[in-house]
Structure 1
Amino acid sequence: MASQPTRSPSTAKRYLVVFIIGLMVGVVAAVMLLRALQARQDPFPGAVMQVMAHQTQALKATAAANRCSAHDSVPRLQSLRAVANDLEAAFPGLGDDSRFAGAASSLRANLDQALAAPPANCAEVTATLEKIGNDCRACHQDFR
């Protein structure tokens, strides 16, 4: 009996395998590059803004739920005030700008005022939130 000749894989299959391997190597290299770039970025500014946004949203939620006693609002205001202390440190390139310093100072002053005389009802909580929102908007309009 004559032996049948063995068939070698077609050229198209070889190209497909090489293409898939190249694609996988490219994906791995892209992920490694993106991770390296991400590691070089400072997460502090984003974290400060996230914490402030969370505390403000939580304060809005307590006002919406009609839970506006000092017991409910003071912890959120204290957290906002503590984070507001780090605004200049979070954005070192803006620390010398008078607009940024003014907005940060105004935010701290409004929070100090709110902590000195905590809001006792929902109208006062809403007014405090409006002041905080105005201070945040003043900065975000100039620097976002």
Structure 2
Amino acid sequence: MSNVDPNRRPSAFGRYVFMLLLGLVLGAMAVVMLMRTWEGRKTSQDRLPHALMHVQAWHVDQLKADMAQNRCNATDVLPHLQALRTTANDLEAAFPDLRDDQRFTAASTAMRAAMDKAMASPPLTCEGLGAAIKQTGETCKGCHQDFRT
């Protein structure tokens, strides 16, 4: 014989737990959708300026690492100098709002000139590489003082 009372009403506890879990799942889905929408708005901006600066900084860091490891021969250094020179060609395209600013034009021209000089007579010693890095850094600093936000 069963000890279940036929007049006893079923507990609402199970329904409350189910509704709580359903609310948590729906809330989490809504948060994810809102975060993706928000991220989409932020990433709809032009990524080229930041990407260009990151790539150039990476190549300069690689040159500094080569110098720290005493790997200053032309075969180690030239690929990074060439990449810096190539990306310097994209400065005006990456920052179209500054294209007509005389200070920006002068700074980007100085960057290209420094890279041309470094590539015309590649540094063969770590001292020469240090001088090339310093000159490149000065051209970057000149632009960043005026335009970096």
TM-score between both structures, scaled by the size of structure 2: 0.85
After the TM superposition, which segments of 4 or more aligned residues of structure 1 sit over 6 Å from their partners? none
Render the CA deviation track for 1:52-83: whole Å, top value 9, x for unaligned: 01110111111111111122211111110000
1:92 aligns with 2:96: yes
Which structure 2 residues correspond to residues 1-144 of structure 1 after superposition, within 5 A? 2-3=5-6, 4-9=8-13, 13=17, 16-17=20-21, 19-144=23-148
| One-letter identity of the residue aligned with 2:135 | K
Task: Say if 1:42 and 1:112 are closer, same or farther in 2 by CA, change over 3 A.
Answer: same
| One-letter identity of the residue aligned with 1:74 | L
Give the C-alpha shift of residue 9 in structure 1. Answer: 3.1
**Counterpart Cα distance in 1 of 2:42 and 2:57:** 22
Give the C-alpha shift of residue 13 in structure 1. Answer: 4.5
Percent identity reads 39
RMSD: 2.1
Give the C-alpha shift of residue 139 in structure 1. Answer: 1.1
Structure 1: any 5+ residue segments left out of the alignment?
A: none
Structure 2: any 5+ residue segments left out of the alignment?
A: none
**Counterpart Cα distance in 2 of 1:45 and 1:39:** 13
